[in-house]
Amino acid sequence: MKIKDLATPSLLFDKEIMLDNIHHMQAYANKYNVALRPHTKTHKSPKLAKLQEQAGAKGIAVAKVGEAEVMAENGLTDIFIANEIVGEDKLNRIKKLAETIDISFGVDSVEQCRMIEKVFSNSQKPAQVLIEIEVGENRSGVIEENDYIELVKYIMECTNVNLKGIFSHDGHTYKAKDIEECRALYNAAQIRTLHFSKIATDLGCQLETISIGSTPPMMHDFGVMEGITELRVGTYILMDVSQGNAIESYDRCAATVLTTVISKPTHERVITDVGAKGLTMQSRSQGICATTGLGYIKNSDDVYIDQVYDEHAIIYNEKFRNEVSIGDKVEIIPNHICPVCNLYDIAYLISGDEVIEEIPILCRGKLQ
């Protein structure tokens, strides 16, 4: 099948670009002698996760228990849930997974660990947890050293919880005003993560895993500090407009949304058949990842989506309007690919103008 014959909207993955991205990041991890654990919330596909492992990845990261279950059902056996998991139902599901695969997950409070200790009290092996360290994104994770010390000491006294390591996410690097600030924020995040690792060591707890990760710093080869054992990176496999802006090129953007021009009601307005339900309304407002509009028309002269409704994308560009006809198909590079993948049941793997394979997005909607 040719790309032009696909019904729209359709999610496309360029095979050559995607594979090059996979091997590029694996080579980066190998260069610094650290493990690579791709965060698969980006693509939500066991098939792509297996490609990443075949290239050398140690295991995978996911965001939710439901994603871990689907990945495990499809043969992935080393999974880290990079999120705080709370609630007996979800913890029991992890305990079930732990019977057949290596699975670990995030914690950041004693209260959470009390729940885990209770749920895993009748398990054959203890829960494997990593403490999240807040490094500047202002999301989840331990902030105060005293809270961290209390948490480490509590876990060390637990019978059913094992402290495997710590992890951090320097997502605030996305908002860096320039590359040098991105480097500074990334380095500060590494230093802070390693500082908390030393605190654990001083308390008599040897950590197996010191995990960091976000895509922008890795794409610029800022290096990896001694003591870091693992890179947990996600968006690099497909990239998007925001990540392309961070590296000042869309050449590594493997994912696009194919859409059809369905109306040209004015001398400057173009309407296509993908809206918020197939593209999202996400944008980034500041820093090296800042975006213009709600998506970029691939290979265009600065043509962006100006507005989306549920099922419509609106473009105001007279030159573009005069270049396209009703029925033409164009590709949009999304601003943020992670939520876009969650909107499709399948993606089409393409090479040139050929569709060569369907990629099931089996973790779509697995939010629990």
> Which pLDDT band holds residue 167 (cuts at 50, 70, 90)?
very high
> How many Å separate Cα 336 from the centre of its chain?
10
> Which pLDDT band holds residue 352 (cuts at 50, 70, 90)?
very high
Output helix, strand, coil percentages for the chain, rounded to the nearest 5.
35, 25, 40
Residues 6+ apart with CB under 8 A from 230: 34, 35, 36, 37, 58, 167, 209, 210, 211, 212, 213
Confidence (pLDDT) at 341:
98
- Residue for token pair 């999304």: 334
Closest CA to 68 of 55, 78, 56: 78
- Domains annotated for the chain, with CATH where assigned, are 3-10+242-360 (2.40.37.20), 32-237 (3.20.20.10)
Confidence (pLDDT) at 90:
98
CB-based contact 38:61 (threshold 8 Å): yes
CA 64/CA 85 separation, integer angstroms:
8
> Which pLDDT band holds residue 193 (cuts at 50, 70, 90)?
very high
Confidence (pLDDT) at 73:
98
| C-alpha count within 13 angstroms, C-beta hemisphere, residue 283 | 16
Residues 6+ apart with CB under 8 A from 52: 22, 26, 36, 38, 40, 60, 237
Mean pLDDT of 141-147: 98
Supply 121's token pair: 């009290």
> Which pLDDT band holds residue 104 (cuts at 50, 70, 90)?
very high
SS3 category, 66: helix
> Which pLDDT band holds residue 316 (cuts at 50, 70, 90)?
very high
Q: What is the mean pLDDT of the chain?
A: 98
> Which pLDDT band holds residue 75 (cuts at 50, 70, 90)?
very high
Confidence (pLDDT) at 310:
98
Mean pLDDT of 60-86: 98
> Which pLDDT band holds residue 31 (cuts at 50, 70, 90)?
very high
pTM: 0.97
Residues 6+ apart with CB under 8 A from 357: 348, 349
Confidence (pLDDT) at 343:
98
Confidence (pLDDT) at 84:
98
> Largest alpha-carbon pair distance within the chain?
71
Confidence (pLDDT) at 136:
96
> Which pLDDT band holds residue 280 (cuts at 50, 70, 90)?
very high
User: What are the strands, taking DSSP E only, across the chain?
Assistant: 10-14, 35-36, 60-62, 78-84, 102-107, 127-133, 161-168, 209-212, 230-231, 255-263, 269-272, 296-297, 307-308, 313-316, 329-333, 346-351, 354-360
Confidence (pLDDT) at 235:
98
What percentage of the chain reaches a pLDDT higher than 90? 100
Say whether the peptide bond before residue 9 is cis (omega within 30 degrees of 0): yes
CA 194/CA 274 separation, integer angstroms:
44
